[in-house]
Amino acid sequence: MIKHAALLGKDDSEGCEIVLDARRKFFDAHLGSFLCTLAEQPGLQEHSMLDPVVRVAKALADEEAQVLGLSSFTADIMRLGPPEPETMACAVNSSGRLPVLN
């Protein structure tokens, strides 16, 4: 947005279009899809503190998408897997210690 504003100040329409295109592509490929996916996760929807935060972030993303001229996002692109069990012990060997690289 700052770069876009600077280019507007210089009356650089070609530069403005390049920056706007890059913003659209990044938002479409990454941020919009990610926030939509988060907002549709049952574990987050049931969380008393995270659900409102995710909903606000999604609402802001929807507003930005509208400003950028993008359509609404769906979570078809990304799906989070099932939550890991509480007993998950990443990178711990049978002795209960973290492995050491020599």
What value does the mean pLDDT take over residues 56-73? 84
E strands in 33-90: none
Domain boundaries, the chain: 2-68
Mean model confidence pLDDT for the chain: 78
pLDDT the model gives residue 51: 87
Coarse DSSP helix, strand, coil percentages of the chain, rounded to the nearest 5 percent: 55, 0, 45
Residue type, 101: L
Percent of the chain residues past pLDDT 70, beyond the cut: 70
| pLDDT value at 78 more than 70 | no
SS3 52: helix
Report the alpha-carbon distance of residue 14 to residue 20 in Å, rounded.
Answer: 10
What does the pLDDT read at residue 77? 46
Check residues 32 and 19 and name the one with the higher pLDDT. Answer: 19
Asked if residue 75 has pLDDT above 60, the reply is: no
Place of tokens 């990178």: 91
82 pLDDT above the threshold of 50: yes
CA nearest to 68, candidates 10, 11, 28, 38: 28
